[in-house]
Amino acid sequence: MRRALPLCLVLVLISHLAMADDGPIEKALARPILGPGQTLAEVQEFVEPRIPAMPQVKTAAEWTARAKQYREDVHKKVLFRGEAERWRAISTRPEWLGEIEGGPGYRIKKLRFEVVPGLWIPALLYEPTVLRGKVPVVLNVNGHDAKGKAADYKQIRCINQAKRGILALNLEWFGMGQLGGKGFGHGLINAVDLCGTSGIALHYLAMSRGIDILLSHENADPSRVGVTGLSGGGWQTIFVSSLDSRVTLTDPVAGYSSYRTRMRFFSDLGDSEQTPCDLGTVVDYAHLTAMMAPHPTLLTFNGKDNCCFAAPHALPPLIEAAGPIFRLFGVEGNLRAHVNFDPGTHNYGLDNRQAFYQMISDHWSRPDQIFNPREIPSDAEVKTAEALKVELPKDNLTIQTLAQSLAEKLPKTGETSGNGTIPGERSTLLRSIVRPVGGDVSAEKGGEEESDGITRTFWKVKIGQSWTIPAVELARGKPEKGTTILFGDEGRAKLAAHTSRLLGEGRRVIAIDPYAFGEAVTPSHGYLFSLMIATIGERALGVDCGQVAAVARWRADVDGAAPTIESAGPRTSTIAIVAAAMEPKAIGSIVLHRPLGSLKEILDSGQEFSSSPEQFCFGLLTHFDLREIIAMIPPQRVSVHDAGESVKRRLLP
């Protein structure tokens, strides 16, 4: 008598049989096609030529005009887009919240102010107890230090400024100190970008409003305005100093390098704020350094920095770019460099602080006030974070909730003709936002094999001279149901089950890895390269959609019929949707597995840029959610799988 196998054992056997069947498919999908480091090399070759070079100028007047135009262009094309233009017009209104005893010769005043309506940040003003006449002011910013404004080396620096009779503002930074909670991650400024408003404006307005507050003091000397900070604070320093013409002395410490340097020294690749969308269409950091001329500028770097921006590679290109400009003004000595060797690691310690005090002494001393370049011992006056805490509103916005509030009325509706209401205009508008890469498409066969009745062909699909897409073609016999281009969030090597199903349906499968997926990832620093792509005016989504569309055009030419594209996962489903809307002739239909129901899910979940760079495309949500893009595709061509009814309702028109 034969006994039936338990159901659980039957399921296990079926699973093992499926795995055995998929084994050769898995092996084929996982076979390397690209050369070692090929995607990295292609990213470098794509980005580097687009980084603006320093112009050739012959006079100080010519450079002054150029610098003025650079500032105007950065303000218009980078900083103040969307709602940021309105934010910029709002006056700075600090709320003073009392003071605490500082130490000999100074007091500490607590304050808070709105960067944008509803988003407050805390600050501390170190004010000399005796003030006569006009005195210098310094904006002190900090980097990626969890202690924020309470970091001991920052407190000591501010204390020393106050003891010298200088007004020192100690500003908190997003994601640090009191703003270290959920919703303040720097990668969230790209969520603001997605809504068509410049997320980088939050950083810039925080600093420029800090300068507003300093200059509103009755004793402030507008001719002596300084900024300094370490690491991310060094980035803040050069950023605001070069773009806010009120700054007259700057000392960025281990905080930045040229974009060209970063594309070769990956330790320097900066986060979202260091690499804001479209900045590289106007200026490089070499330009920003030169834009300080003729004002006193100290470039401080560390000799063996264990974080980033080490002096040997970061400093020389900046001096090479800015030195000739300072010479045009006849003030070559105003551009200085200080390299720290003790300890030489990532720091704003005693040696670096004294280099800053020396800069102040040399450029701000007057007959009636000589500034001492040596540090005044003040370690005993360092206070706890609790003592320096500034009360913030309980309903204070975060960067995340700010992005969510911007998204509430998006995408925009009721646009008039010329702004994308008719199909042709909608397609043009979408392409202008996504900026798909294009070029002639060619395919190079890298080998072919056959076993178990399945032919496997390995391809390198090229778009012009820019990008190579690895592709594996699989077919059982002569497929009668057409071609499917398949890709997924986990890379093509993980698509054996989907491939097996499609082969069983009588379809040819072209499994690919678009940029930043599967084999087409960079060895490290992946999302930071996507930031670089965005800063030079391109978009990661545009690279991916352009690649998918190129493969579709290639197969349409080969097969004489438009292929289907099929995606597995929320990231690649977004790529599939956008590609299909922009390439209606070459893409026949789309099959989506586990798609997002809306781009707003990214904002609601608090995702940062690093999680899905291609989905944070600047301004996409301003005019299009996924539903509006799908509406551009004939409904019979779209199918959604592995998604709940709520997702389908949100996604399908």
Last residue of a domain, one of 392, 427, 449: 392
CA 518 to CA 539: how far, in whole Å? 19
Reduced to 3 states, what is the DSSP secondary structure of residue 281?
helix
Other C-beta atoms within 10 Å of 99: how many? 14
The mean predicted confidence, pLDDT, of the chain is: 94
Number of structural domains in the chain:
2
Asked if 429 contacts 623 with a C-beta cutoff of 8 angstroms, the reply is: yes
Q: What is the DSSP letter of 248?
A: -
Q: Which two tokens stand for residue 129?
A: 């107890």
401 phi and psi angles, rounded to 5 deg: -70, -30
* Helix 232-243 with 200-215: angle, nearest 10 deg: 70
- pLDDT tens per residue, range 104-146: 999 999 999 999 999 999 999 999 999 999 999 999 999 999 9
Taken as a whole, the chain contains a residue count of: 653
Same domain, residue pair 503 and 372? no
Same domain, residue pair 387 and 464? no
What's 467's domain CATH number? 3.40.50.1820
Same domain, residue pair 550 and 625? yes
Same domain, residue pair 314 and 430? no
Q: Which amino acid is at 370?
A: I
Same domain, residue pair 504 and 453? yes
Contacts of 7 (CB under 8 A, 6+ apart): none
* Structural domain harbouring 334: 70-392
Q: Residue 534 falls within a domain, yes or no?
A: yes
Give residue 422's pLDDT: 64
Q: Which two tokens stand for residue 344?
A: 């030489």
Give residue 21's pLDDT: 53
Q: Which amino acid is at 140?
A: N
Q: Residue 328 falls within a domain, yes or no?
A: yes
Q: Cα 540 to chain center, whole Å?
A: 11
Q: Residue 130 falls within a domain, yes or no?
A: yes
Q: Which two tokens stand for residue 466?
A: 């820019």
Give residue 242's pLDDT: 98
Q: What is the mean pLDDT of residues 263-291?
A: 97
The pLDDT-based confidence of 525 (bands split at 50, 70, 90) is confident
Last residue of a domain, one of 358, 392, 426: 392
Give residue 617's pLDDT: 98
Give residue 22's pLDDT: 67
Q: What is the DSSP letter of 371?
A: P
| pTM exceeds 0.85, yes or no | yes
The pLDDT-based confidence of 419 (bands split at 50, 70, 90) is very low
Residue 446 has pLDDT above 90, yes or no: yes
Q: Which two tokens stand for residue 563?
A: 């292929």
CA 144 to CA 291: how far, in whole Å? 26
Residue 184 has pLDDT above 50, yes or no: yes
Same domain, residue pair 356 and 476? no
- Using a 10 angstrom Cβ sphere, with 0-12 exposed, 13-18 middle and 19 or more buried, the burial of residue 616 is buried
Asked if 174 contacts 399 with a C-beta cutoff of 8 angstroms, the reply is: yes
Residue 551 has pLDDT above 90, yes or no: yes
Residue 417 has pLDDT above 70, yes or no: no
End-to-end CA distance of the chain: 57
Residue 418 has pLDDT above 80, yes or no: no
Same domain, residue pair 546 and 644? yes
Asked if 188 contacts 399 with a C-beta cutoff of 8 angstroms, the reply is: yes
Q: Which two tokens stand for residue 490?
A: 């986990």
- pLDDT tens per residue, range 15-50: 444 444 568 999 999 999 999 999 999 999 999 999
Residue 469 pairs with which residues in a beta bridge?
Answer: 461
Helices (H) and strands (E) in the chain, counts: 22, 17
Give residue 653's pLDDT: 82
CA 372 to CA 374: how far, in whole Å? 6
Residue 229: name the closest of 298, 296, 276 by CA: 298
Q: Which two tokens stand for residue 4?
A: 């039936």
Same domain, residue pair 376 and 434? no
Q: Is the CA virtual torsion 551, 554, 559, 562 positive or negative?
A: positive
Reduced to 3 states, what is the DSSP secondary structure of residue 501?
helix
- pLDDT tens per residue, range 587-641: 999 999 999 999 999 999 999 999 999 999 999 999 999 999 999 999 999 999 9
629 phi and psi angles, rounded to 5 deg: -75, -40
Q: Residue 46 falls within a domain, yes or no?
A: no
Question: Percent of the chain scored above 90 by pLDDT?
Answer: 91
Same domain, residue pair 344 and 446? no
Same domain, residue pair 184 and 333? yes
Same domain, residue pair 244 and 312? yes
Q: What is the mean pLDDT of residues 288-310?
A: 98
Same domain, residue pair 429 and 365? no
